[in-house]
Amino acid sequence: MITSKLPNVGITIFTQMSQLAAQTGAINLSQGFPDFDGPQSLRDAVGRHIASGHNQYSPMTGLPALREQIALKIARSYGVQVNADSEVTVTPGATQAIFCAIQAVIHSGDEVIVFDPCYDSYEPATELAGGRCVHVQLNPDDFSIDFDKLAAALSPRTKMIVINTPHNPSGALISRAELDQLAALIRDRDIYLISDEVYEHLVFDGVPHVSVLAHEELYQRAFVVSSFGKTYHVTGWKTGYVVAPPALTAELRKVHQYVSFCGVTPLQYALADYMAEHPEHVEELPGFYQAKRDLFCDLLTPSRFTFSRVTGTYFQLVDYSQIRPDLNDVEMAMWMTREHGVASIPVSVFYQNPPAGQRLVRLCFAKREETLREAAAKLCAI
């Protein structure tokens, strides 16, 4: 008989809702992926590099040209210098980067603090390392960190804190003042930090993304994770990277080399080319997605859903309390998919213990205009 190492883990809600959308023919606003392709020249570059023979293993740490482009982007975006050789590692996706960072430093009995609602990969990775997640709920009104709750959650076993900014599923951003407060709280403790920043370039209304990369004190104990899939509209490429100080990078690479060894070679060549030729892409991304957010929210204004426009990510939370308060959010998501043809994600799945009475679902607006218009028409008819 198999004794499961993850006895409480099943098929994720993201897979379930995408499958239900496919079965029912619903518009899939559940799983976070665009229904449009990445830049044509980026896709063309992949074929060019495959044809030119770039099909064998890349270096374990990532293609040097790509790591250099990452370092240049960080310098342009945040005004800080990182060493492409000793601080940047390319991974097959940001989720793998998070997994390797947790495995690198968490030992049996260690505690990892996560903030609910949180991405679903943090806890299984911690459990596989022999650790235990301690869940701290974000403030329910604006999804900011409750530092009193965080301080109360710290213990001698706390070894890591995971933050996510811009935040999935709420879109909230962590400010510089909050990072300063976090730094003061853990200054005299042996605690590592993962900063999940995969939506770093999807920020709106002129508000800057505050990266841990630019926080000198916190960066010294941090793994900062990002995603090419989110930034370049190619989620299926499963290519990401992690930036950390040399000592932490060395430990992460010890794990990474035995999980996948390296990323996909022609994709790395293509990304390096595109980043060198189009550095403006990341600068234009906030406006690109803000236009989609604004269109979608404008279209939803006549509906019975209530919401505040998100400040980051490509997800919009909507409250359905005025529509079906009798349904919990999982039931609501299923009902919307089956009866009204729009698939969403119930926000309760991001919590260990969801707040009583919360009635929120998450909708992805990384879609073509016609998709958003069709989905909004269905939602307004509810």
Successive 10-residue mean pLDDT values, the chain, 382 residues: 91 90 96 95 98 98 98 98 98 98 98 97 97 97 97 98 98 98 98 98 97 98 98 98 98 98 98 98 98 98 98 98 96 97 96 94 98 98 96
- Among candidates 352, 325, 341, which has minimal Cα distance to 380? 341
Amino acid at 193: L
The angle, 0 to 180 degrees and rounded to 10, between the axes of the packed helices 329-340 and 13-24 is: 20
Place of tokens 């449009």: 36
CA quadruple 23, 25, 28, 34: dihedral sign: positive
**Angle at 292 (CA atoms; ends 288, 293), nearest 5 degrees:** 115
Sequence-distant (6+) residues with CB within 8 A of 143 are: 117, 167, 170, 172
User: Where does residue 130 fall: left (phi above 0), alpha (psi -120 to 50 degrees), or beta otherwise?
Assistant: left
Burial zone of 365 (CB within 10 Å; 0-12 exposed, 13-18 middle, 19+ buried): buried
Residue 1's pLDDT is 86
d(CA 74, CA 82): 8
Instruction: Give the three-state DSSP class for 162.
Output: strand
Quote the pTM value: 0.97
Residue 10's pLDDT is 86
What are the distances in angstroms from CA 258 to CA 104, 251, 254, 261?
12, 12, 7, 6
Q: Are 305 and 319 in contact (CB under 8 A)?
A: yes
Residue 13's pLDDT is 87
**Helix extents (H) in 154-245:** 176-186, 216-219, 228-231
Cis ω for the linkage preceding 124 (within 30 of 0): no
**Angle at 117 (CA atoms; ends 36, 179), nearest 5 degrees:** 95
Residue 169 φ/ψ, nearest 5 degrees:
-105, 0
Q: Are 345 and 14 in contact (CB under 8 A)?
A: yes
**DSSP annotation string for 228-269:** HHHHTT-GGG--EEEE--HHHHHHHHHHHHHHTSS--HHHHH
DSSP state of 270: H
Structure tokens at 288: 């690109």
CB count within 10 Å of CB 183 equals: 18
CA quadruple 209, 215, 220, 221: dihedral sign: negative
Residue 11's pLDDT is 85
